[in-house]
Homo-oligomer: A and B are copies of this chain.
């Protein structure tokens, strides 16, 4: 194993992934956990537990740790601000973890770190202007402007998931007071919600049979059935892809990026999701930005966030 390893953690709304990362961005050990807990203490216990598992599996000195948090993060203090999916509001995540681990710890927004990894070494490599959407339980997002991650006045940019595309759309819920946000229409939860509707409408489809058999209808199940060719599941993924296309068309018009990278768990649907999104962008966005912007799946798939955290930890150790 290379010297100077670090641990990067992607703390998602549902799952967390910790990885031992070396300076060449190779991943040596991974530890998975469910992330959700009803209190901050329980969530942080899971983070520490996963880090300790990865650390002991590596049998190596760990130089630093970084954690991507699905929250607006105060960069100066390491405190989580408005967090939609986990009970971490106003929690000093960085200092609590540093104390428990006895290691230097850095924190950042999870999607900013996914953007960092894709910009350094993935689908947005070499781009001056790029946008990343990580679609999982909700939508995280990051943007690179003139080669640097956009942070905004107080480090709270870029919440593209909370961009309204349906003024009178469904409530976004869980910490967001808005409705018709991109996240309310495009996310693992939206996929599951639309799938329930489609299953009821098409009881003979695979999706309909799964519902009748009492199987829990999750985004992952819909994606699996869509890959297997079930028309009802494909329809649901395509519908969500079309909403995603409206959101990406907005991003293309606003940022004029070279690439929009789509990652997170929902990208497991691949072209079944991105194909309809690309068609909507081609139809609705402005020229020439829509001809310029590539729409690409994340090179590192669902691991962009963890690798970006690794990059941040390497900087801290460096």
Contacts and interface: CB of A to CB of B under 8 A. Distances in A.
Given A163-B250, A163-B253, A256-B156, A176 B288 contact: no
Given A164-B249, A164-B284, A167-B166, A157 B82 contact: no
Interface stretch (A17-25, A145-153, A196-204, A218-226): A145-153
A201 to B, nearest CB: 20
Nearest to A169: B167
Contacts of A246: 164, 167
A251 to B, nearest CB: 9
B289 A250 contact: no
A304 interface: no
A127 B153 CA distance: 9
Given A152-B256, A176-B286, A254-B254, 18 more contacts: A72-B289, A128-B153, A145-B150, A146-B148, A153-B257, A153-B292, A157-B255, A157-B289, A159-B256, A159-B286, A160-B253, A162-B286, A163-B163, A166-B166, A177-B284, A177-B286, A178-B285, A178-B286
Question: In the complex, which range does the number of interface residues on chain A fall in?
Answer: 35 or more
A77 to B, nearest CB: 13
B82 A152 contact: no
A46 interface: no
Contacts of A72: 286, 288-289
A167 to B, nearest CB: 5
Interface string A241-285: 001001001100111111000000000000000000000000111
Nearest to A243: B167
A129 interface: yes
A253 B136 CA distance: 19
Given A164-B246, A283-B177, A159 B82 contact: no
Contacts of A164: 165, 246, 249-250, 284
A231 interface: no
Interface string A108-152: 000000000000000000011100000000000000011010111
A154 interface: yes
A155 interface: yes
Contacts of A167: 165-166, 169, 243, 246
Contact of A178 (B176, B258, B284, B292): B284
B129 A249 contact: no
A154 B288 contact: yes
A187 interface: no
A287 interface: yes
A81 interface: yes
A257 to B, nearest CB: 6
Contact of A289 (B156, B160, B163, B168): B156
